[in-house]
């Protein structure tokens, strides 16, 4: 079963938890789990991480001498990729995406060359056991390169055995990696080889914490039928992995194997500061045939562009893009992404595309919002009766007060559950957009007004120091969104009932707290998301005014309620019946408890 990362950094997690707790008080409760960052020493975090390799042993004779003159690098290039291969270990030592650029903090633009592999941040190889039980690794061998067209053959000799890595640069973002050995069976007795990949990802986006949170393992198994992700560490002792990848916010590095990795294990470790974000270590076993390793692999260094990922049919690469699980992902893939693409095809700027997407979403939700505001108007009409019932039963059993309130609603034809529907409908939309904006590569680097990148926060207001939960900047879009949410809350909280029981909080006050807590969440989020919610809530205010002054007539609603009362109460719905039965059962239990106390 495919899962998705929660995508929350530490500051967002705290503010979002507060936000969820506020909403839980009157309707529902959310809980997101964020993995704690692994501890790392200051010295390790300030220096670029060098990947550990297996130490050469005396078990085998490495016939090629290790000296600087022998180490030669070769390069293959196409329109999309520039790949360099090192003679040391026969590995890919550099992988550059030619059509993309990395974020430059000095210029606040994406104008630096974008390398997924460079400066020793990646090391991989195969590890074998010889007949004495000693270990040797291809990482320590010196390979001789031979280039022919778009292919390079790396050859190394180990005690009479030959190991060859044949790399072929294919179309798009793929590199064929064919491994061949001859004479290896004379050295080893084990029927398995270990594949080790140590990879420290480098920051390429604005907003370290957001990109760090979006960096994780992804892998497919069960013959590409299932996919999963990992934000901490994983072990798959039973599954055969078809590919393993390390994903960043907008790019990924993937290695695929024709026969699969078994007994796989992955670990990852966050790096607090510096050029590197996270350190990933993957270990998996490869089965040998006749104690020889002859197997085909493929490397992919590619952007997380949904059409591109889908073009690799049967690979399930589109699961790497964290658009959400289950219905959330479906909503993004089949609604928001197509709507966004359709609007951008008209040549509309990204910020205005988001504006139009908001209008489209509001039009889809307009029938639900109309019912919500109609219910609000009906609640306002019966409010005097509710207050009278509260006064009448203020010293009585709370259950009786609740029953009297429900009876008033039932006679007036008011279904309280109808008020929950709009919120429930908007929950998946909120999460879908929470996934959409910071992960849509088409929005990466797109500017709008004072925002340089709609997938990152806007920091026009910079602070000279770091404030907990806020950081070193204040987002203008986050402030604007907070203001309109506060106005919307004030406009819609007038009909909410006051606290009915002593000690219970006034829900209206809690609703006013929500916009403030939401600011901390938006301040470090994608500015595209903040812009969407600003427009969405501004439209909500306009819709409320339109419904109040031009669509709904309180006099007509009052007449309708009186007509409903004259007809008699409607038959109980399933929810109302269950609520009544629960209250009656609670009353019976209370009476039994009181009777037992009297006997004592």
Per the listing, tokens 């190991």 go with 163
Per the listing, tokens 């010295």 go with 43
The answer to whether 523 touches 474, Cβ cutoff 8 Å, is: yes
- Same domain for 207 and 337, yes or no, is no
Range of the domain at 435: 332-569
Q: Provide the token pair at 533.
A: 């919610």
Provide the domain count of the chain: 3
Rounded to 10 degrees, the C-alpha dihedral 300/272/234/120 comes to 40
pLDDT at site 138: 92
- Rg of the chain over all Cα atoms, to the nearest angstrom: 31
- Same domain for 230 and 216, yes or no, is yes
Name the strand (E) or helix (H) holding 463. Answer: strand 461-467
C-alpha to C-alpha distance for 313 and 323, rounded to whole angstroms: 19
Total H helices, total E strands in the chain: 14, 20
- Same domain for 443 and 538, yes or no, is yes
DSSP result, 34-65: -PPPPP--HHHHHSPPPPP-PPP-TTS-B-S-
pLDDT at site 58: 35
Measured from the Cβ of residue 348, the count of other Cβ atoms closer than 10 Å reads 13
- Same domain for 292 and 422, yes or no, is no
- Same domain for 483 and 518, yes or no, is yes
- Same domain for 351 and 469, yes or no, is yes
Does the predicted model carry a pTM greater than 0.95? no
DSSP result, 161-178: EEEEEEEEE-STTEEEEE
Q: Provide the token pair at 478.
A: 């986050």
- CA-nearest of 233, 228, 221, 309 to 267 is 233
Q: ∠30-9-122 over CA atoms, to 5°?
A: 130
C-alpha to C-alpha distance for 481 and 557, rounded to whole angstroms: 33
Structural domain ending residue among the three candidates 322, 340, 368: 322
Structural domain ending residue among the three candidates 322, 354, 372: 322
Q: With respect to residue 9, please indicate whether it lies within any of the assigned structural domains.
A: no
The CATH number assigned to the domain holding 302 equals 2.70.98.90
- Same domain for 239 and 351, yes or no, is no
- Same domain for 276 and 385, yes or no, is no
Q: Spell out the residues 6+ positions from residue 508 whose beta carbon is closer than 8 angstroms to its own.
A: 493, 496, 498
Q: How far apart are the first and last CA of the chain?
A: 56
Q: With respect to residue 527, please indicate whether it lies within any of the assigned structural domains.
A: yes
Q: Please list the alpha-helical segments (H only) found in 493-573.
A: 507-523, 527-546, 554-567
The answer to whether 321 touches 439, Cβ cutoff 8 Å, is: yes
- Same domain for 582 and 509, yes or no, is no
Q: With respect to residue 442, please indicate whether it lies within any of the assigned structural domains.
A: yes
- Same domain for 586 and 488, yes or no, is no
Structural domain ending residue among the three candidates 294, 322, 350: 322
pLDDT at site 172: 85
Distance of CA 488 to the CA centre of its chain: 28
Q: With respect to residue 309, please indicate whether it lies within any of the assigned structural domains.
A: yes
Rounded to 10 degrees, the C-alpha dihedral 302/307/311/313 comes to 110
Longest Cα separation, the chain: 100
pLDDT at site 29: 33
- Same domain for 61 and 95, yes or no, is yes
> 30-64: buried (b, 16+ CB within 10 Å) or exposed (e) per residue?
eeeebbebeeeeeeebeeebebebbebeebbeeee
Mean pLDDT by 10 residues, the chain (600 residues): 46 48 39 36 37 36 42 85 93 94 88 93 92 87 91 91 94 92 88 93 86 89 88 86 93 94 92 90 92 93 92 90 81 86 88 88 77 71 70 66 70 62 72 82 87 84 78 84 85 56 55 77 83 87 77 63 60 58 63 66
Q: ∠140-143-149 over CA atoms, to 5°?
A: 145
The answer to whether 482 touches 519, Cβ cutoff 8 Å, is: yes
The answer to whether 243 touches 254, Cβ cutoff 8 Å, is: yes
CB-count burial class (<10 Å; 0-12, 13-18, 19+) for 107: exposed
Q: What is the DSSP letter of 502?
A: T
Distances in Å between the Cα of 190 and the Cα atoms of 40, 197, 238, 333, 416 are 36, 20, 20, 46, 69
DSSP result, 351-414: HHHHHHHHHHHHHHHHHHHHHHHHHHHHHHHHHHHHHHHHHHTTTS-HHHHHHHHHHHHHHHT-
- Same domain for 557 and 577, yes or no, is no
């Amino acid at each position: 079963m495919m899962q998705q990362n929660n995508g929350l950094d530490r500051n967002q997690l705290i503010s979002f938890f507060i936000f969820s707790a506020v909403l839980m008080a009157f309707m529902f409760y959310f809980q997101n789990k964020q993995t704690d960052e692994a501890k790392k020493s200051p010295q390790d975090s300030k220096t670029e991480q060098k990947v550990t390799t297996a130490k050469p042993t005396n078990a085998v004779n490495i016939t090629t001498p290790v000296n600087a003159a022998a180490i030669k690098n070769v390069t293959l290039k196409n329109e999309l990729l520039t790949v360099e291969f090192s003679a040391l270990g026969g590995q890919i030592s550099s992988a550059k995406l030619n059509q993309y650029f990395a974020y430059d903090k000095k210029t606040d633009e994406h104008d630096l060359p974008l390398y997924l592999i460079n400066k020793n941040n990646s090391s991989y190889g195969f590890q074998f056991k010889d007949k004495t039980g000693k270990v040797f690794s291809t990482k320590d061998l010196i390979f001789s390169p031979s280039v022919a067209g778009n292919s390079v053959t790396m050859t190394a000799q180990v005690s009479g055995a030959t190991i060859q890595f044949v790399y072929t640069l294919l179309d798009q973002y793929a590199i064929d990696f064919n491994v061949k050995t001859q004479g290896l069976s004379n050295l080893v007795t084990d029927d398995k080889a270990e594949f080790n990949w140590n990879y420290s990802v480098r920051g390429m986006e604005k907003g370290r914490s957001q990109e760090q949170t979006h960096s994780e393992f992804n892998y497919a198994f069960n013959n590409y039928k299932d996919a999963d992700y990992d934000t901490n560490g994983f072990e798959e002792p039973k599954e055969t992995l078809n590919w393993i990848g390390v994903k960043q916010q907008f790019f990924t590095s993937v290695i695929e194997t024709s026969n699969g990795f078994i007994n796989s294990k992955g670990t990852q470790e966050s790096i607090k500061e510096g050029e590197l974000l996270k350190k990933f270590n993957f270990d998996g076993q490869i089965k040998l045939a006749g104690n020889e390793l002859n197997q085909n692999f493929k490397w992919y260094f590619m952007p997380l562009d949904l059409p591109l990922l889908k073009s690799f049919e049967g690979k399930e690469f589109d699961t790497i893009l964290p658009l959400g699980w289950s219905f959330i992902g479906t909503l993004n893939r089949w609604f928001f992404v197509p709507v966004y693409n359709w609007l951008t095809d008209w040549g509309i700027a990204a910020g205005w595309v988001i504006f139009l997407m908001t209008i489209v979403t509001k039009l889809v939700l307009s029938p639900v919002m109309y019912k919500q505001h109609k219910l609000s108007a009906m609640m306002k009409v019966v409010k005097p009766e509710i207050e009278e019932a509260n006064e009448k039963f203020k010293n009585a059993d709370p259950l009786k007060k609740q029953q009297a309130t429900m009876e008033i609603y039932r006679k007036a034809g008011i279904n309280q559950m109808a008020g929950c529907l709009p919120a429930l409908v908007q929950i998946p939309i909120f999460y879908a957009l929470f996934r959409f904006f910071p992960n849509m590569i088409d929005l990466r680097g797109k500017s709008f007004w004072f925002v340089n990148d709609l997938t990152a926060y806007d920091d026009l207001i910079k602070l000279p120091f770091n404030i907990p939960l806020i950081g070193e900047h204040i987002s203008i879009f986050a402030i604007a969104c907070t203001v309109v949410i506060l106005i919307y809350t004030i406009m819609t909280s007038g009909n909410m009932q006051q606290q009915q029981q002593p000690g219970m909080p006034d829900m209206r006050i809690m609703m006013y707290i929500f916009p403030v807590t939401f600011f901390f969440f938006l301040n470090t989020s994608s500015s595209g998301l903040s812009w969407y919610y600003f427009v969405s809530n501004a439209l909500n205010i306009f819709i409320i005014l339109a419904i109040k002054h031009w669509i709904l007539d309180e006099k007509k609603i009052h007449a309708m309620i009186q007509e409903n009362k004259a007809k008699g109460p409607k038959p109980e719905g399933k929810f109302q019946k269950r609520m009544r039965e629960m209250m009656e059962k609670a009353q019976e239990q209370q009476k039994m408890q009181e009777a037992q106390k009297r006997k004592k």
